[in-house]
Amino acid sequence: MNWKPQDWIEHASFGLGRVNENRGDRLDIDFINSGPKTILRTTELKPAMSPADFKSPKVKRKSVTSRIKV
């Protein structure tokens, strides 16, 4: 299957996860319970639906303003 970033998948061991990046023969996937993993595309993966109560982690941004030295 041709997995794209933001696709939800289900893995037999790692559970539910979201594709982060497709790197040809490998997929970077953020699994809800086991964290980020790199999986071979030949691995048995099933399409899944986004969990209803899932909220993406917010990315911390650096302040645009510079610090003032005293």
Q: How confident is the model at residue 36 (pLDDT cuts 50, 70, 90)?
A: very high
Q: Could you state, in order of their start, the residue ranges of all structural domains in the chain?
A: 8-47
Q: 16, 34, 35, 36: which is closest to 26 by C-alpha?
A: 36
The per-residue pLDDT for 50 is 84
CB 46 within 8 Å of CB 9: yes
Rounded to an integer, the average pLDDT of 42-68 is 70
57: left (phi over 0), alpha (psi -120 to 50) or beta: beta
Cα 21 to Cα 27: distance, rounded to the nearest angstrom? 6
Mean predicted lDDT score pLDDT of the chain = 83
Rounded to an integer, the average pLDDT of 10-37 is 93
CB 8 within 8 Å of CB 50: yes
Rounded to an integer, the average pLDDT of 28-56 is 86
**Residue 57 clears pLDDT 70, i.e. is over it:** no
The per-residue pLDDT for 67 is 62
